């Protein structure tokens, strides 16, 4: 059985269930206890599980992520909340030079079961330092798992998988998805890491997206359908590891592909996916892969400029329609 709940509530359920299931799970972050975090996702959890396991931290991302890595090395399973993903830059040394590398350095002597939760993305007019999608930096770092769920069911299932994972996980939550509603199964379940899913079937063009852009891709597919263009939509869900098998199977069928992300165009996840498609599907491609992404500018604070700089379903539909018309 499933019930419709908010994306934010699905994440809270995952945290509550994993705290109850495993006494080694702890939560760390700025204002997460009494206040419930910047977006209230941990509201009430400290009252349930106590402040020994739900701990407020100083405003020092490098410091408390480092503490979490040490806790993970010694047997705990910390879940760290970064208030805005932008601030994860302050902890890059701990994540990239320590968490990502210790299992390679120490082998079976060391596990890093750490989850770093990151509210990310634009759309709220928060400006250039509170609206970024920085997953590209972590996808490019060996040793890290990077997840980006697009709906409430996967938000819960992937977070539970992340908490049970023995590798460090960067868990990306689009801020605009918190208020979305969708069916979430009751009871204990997990969503497998490293498996993409086909959200809509189609034959003319493949749309590959993740996080908030999945719904934009679905909206684009609906718009394209009104013009007799059949689009297949793939939700990557996991950015590292990437499930290229699901992607290439679709592209080999359709011969055309648009890769979509909310982050900047240059050097993004879409560039990596498009490059792999070019290598693995070269003989099946009817057209060069297209990318749809944000403009290469800092995210504007102006809501009008922010909207202009950020991709939406119209940009996706236009790119897909051009591929079908020209090739």
- Does 227 participate in catalysis according to the annotation? no
Q: Report yes or no: 121 and 133 within 8 Å, Cβ to Cβ.
A: yes
DSSP assignment string, 124-147: S---TTSS---HHHHHTSTT-EEE
CB 112, CB 144: distance < 8 Å: no
Q: Which of 13, 130, 135, 262 is catalytic?
A: 130
Alpha carbon dihedral 136, 59, 84, 82, in 10-degree steps, equals 70
User: Catalytic residue at 9?
Assistant: no
Q: Of these residues, 13, 17, 18, 61, which one is catalytic? A: 61
Packed helices 152-164 and 7-21: angle between N→C axes, nearest 10 degrees? 30
DSSP 284: T
Closest Cα partner for 199 from 177, 216, 179, 184? 216
Backbone angles phi, psi at 208, to 5 degrees: -110, 125
Active site residues: 61, 130
């Amino acid at each position: 059985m499933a019930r419709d709940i908010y994306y934010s509530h699905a994440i809270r359920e995952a945290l509550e269930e994993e705290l109850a299931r495993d006494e080694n799970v702890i939560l760390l972050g700025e204002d997460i206890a009494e206040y419930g975090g910047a977006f209230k996702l941990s509201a009430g959890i400290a009252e349930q599980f106590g402040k020994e396991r739900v701990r407020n931290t100083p405003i020092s991302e490098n410091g408390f992520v480092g503490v979490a890595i040490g806790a993970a090395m010694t047997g705990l399973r910390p879940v760290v909340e970064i208030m805005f993903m932008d601030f994860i830059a302050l902890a890059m040394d701990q994540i990239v030079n320590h968490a990502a590398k210790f299992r390679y350095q120490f082998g079976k002597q060391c596990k890093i079961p750490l989850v770093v939760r990151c509210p990310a993305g634009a759309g709220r007019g928060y400006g250039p330092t509170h609206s970024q999608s920085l997953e590209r930096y972590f996808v490019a770092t060996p040793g890290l798992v990077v997840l980006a769920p697009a709906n409430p069911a996967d938000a819960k299932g992937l977070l539970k998988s992340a908490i049970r994972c023995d590798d460090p996980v960067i868990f990306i939550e689009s801020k605009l998805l918190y208020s979305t509603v969708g069916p979430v199964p009751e009871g204990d379940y997990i969503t497998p890491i490293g498996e993409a899913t086909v959200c809509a079937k189609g034959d003319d063009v493949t749309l590959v997206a993740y996080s908030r852009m999945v719904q934009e891709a679905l909206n684009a597919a609906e718009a394209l359908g009104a013009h007799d263009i059949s689009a297949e939509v793939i939700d990557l869900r996991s950015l590292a590891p990437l499930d290229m098998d699901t992607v290439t199977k679709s592209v080999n069928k359709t011969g055309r592909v648009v890769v979509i992300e909310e982050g900047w165009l240059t050097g993004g996840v879409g560039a990596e996916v498009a490059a792999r498609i070019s290598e693995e599907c070269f003989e099946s491609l009817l057209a060069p892969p297209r990318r749809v992404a944000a403009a290469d500018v800092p995210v504007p604070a102006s809501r009008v400029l922010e909207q202009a700089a950020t991709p939406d379903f119209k940009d996706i539909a236009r790119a897909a329609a051009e591929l079908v018309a020209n090739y």
